[in-house]
Amino acid sequence: MRSILARLTGGAFAAILLLTAAVAAATLWS
């Protein structure tokens, strides 16, 4: 159960990181 929770937390963290990078790239591009 802990491994699943850790995987979900890591996935959410990676998604937020990717989203932040995408927003930053879009802001710099325009």
CA 20 vs CA 3, 12, 15, 17, 26: distances in Å: 25, 12, 9, 5, 10
What one-character-per-residue DSSP string does 1-30 give? Answer: -HHHHHHHHHHHHHHHHHHHHHHHHHHHH-
The model's pLDDT over 1-30, given as tens digits with 9 standing for 90+, comes to 789 999 999 999 999 999 999 999 999 987
Q: Give residue 2's pLDDT.
A: 83
Hey, what are 21's tokens? 């990078």
